[in-house]
Amino acid sequence: MRTPSGTIAERYSRQALFTGIGPEGQQRLLHAHLAVVGAGATGAAAAGLLARAGVGTLTLIDRDFVEESNLQRQVLFDEADARESLPKAEAARRKIAAFNSEVDVRAHVADLVPGNIHDLLGGAEIVLDATDNFETRYLLNDYAIEQGKPWIYAAAVGAYAVTMNIVPGDTACLACIFPEPPGGGVETCETAGILNSAVNLAASIEVTEAMKWIVGAPGRMRRSLLSCDLWRNEWSEIAAGRPRPDCAACAQRNFRHLRGEGRPHITLCGRNSVQIHEHSRPVDLAEVEARLRPHGEVRRNAMLLRFQRDDYTLTLFPDGRAILQGTSDVGLARSFYARFIGS
């Protein structure tokens, strides 16, 4: 067991003075392992708060890279990260190391999918959602119920923030409240914009709820779906204190998302982009760079390669996954990938 040195004790002294945490709760935080899925706006804010609170081990999972448009709201990144197109998980790890080197940050540049979820989240005691899509959230929900592990749903768009605690066997799960993913068009920060204050509110609430679990105060955790619109000053709650008796996930334990049923191999991922999933097809980035140089502008680092041709920019990761910017046409994206990377 790690015992705080004088320096560590001083670092967290104001937090340990809070009666809800105290010295014993701080010890629990120092030995805790939490995971944050998504290192964008909500994830960066949540990870920063957890690291400053002294969480011992922090797993960060994100599939994306830093862009200039992120800097308005994604608090762990700077202009140099955007210029280098650093993967968000790695950029977050570096920033956290600069202000709290005691935290063991395990950064994974990956898309969370059924094939890797058990490996990536296996050691975490509680999982915080900071994703941008319901596909991954339903996957998290299945995994958490299967493992009997709590997770916290959180989202922000426009001036709107929403969050809910899911404690398997105790509270309602995501599928209890939303048996099916929302239909029709769903607003995103690309279509509705976003206030950085809404992001930070969602992250602050979910981090506080996670800390309640870690320090041994689960009875203090909220048992509702909380939503608020900061611009209109509107707050609402939906009771989520009990599982739904006919819920496919937590009552029937039908984990179809965890089995990967109906999971697409190519998906829209916002900002006029398409993501191509190729998880079992590793590529040699150096070899691809040499092959692509005659066809357009290529930049590469150890974690990704960026290829620009005409109006399109392809970001390729070592596992074969790619994001094509400049189109939302799935067919065009598939054709572009096959043409320049192969199929």
Catalytic (active site) residue 250: no
Q: At what angle do helices 196-214 and 41-53 cross, to 10 degrees?
A: 40
Distance separating alpha carbons of residues 90 and 106, to the nearest angstrom: 9
Given this structure, which CATH class describes domain 266-340? alpha beta
Fold of 32-239: Rossmann fold (3.40.50)
Residue limits of CATH 3.40.50.720 in the chain: 32-239
pLDDT of residue 186: 57
Active-site annotation holder among 173, 189, 228, 250: 189
Residue limits of CATH 3.30.310 in the chain: 266-340
Exposed / middle / buried, residue 7 (Cβ in 10 Å: 0-12, 13-18, 19+): exposed
Here the tokens at position 275 are: 């993501």
Q: What is the pLDDT along the chain (343 residues), one digit of tens a residue?
A: 455 556 778 999 999 999 999 999 999 999 999 999 999 999 999 999 999 999 999 999 998 899 999 999 999 999 999 999 899 999 999 999 999 999 999 999 988 989 999 999 999 999 999 998 888 999 999 999 999 999 999 999 999 999 999 999 999 999 999 998 775 445 667 657 899 999 999 999 999 999 999 999 999 999 999 999 999 999 999 999 999 999 999 999 999 999 988 776 666 666 688 888 765 678 889 999 999 999 999 999 989 999 999 999 999 988 888 999 998 888 788 888 878 887 5
pLDDT of residue 121: 98
pLDDT of residue 29: 98
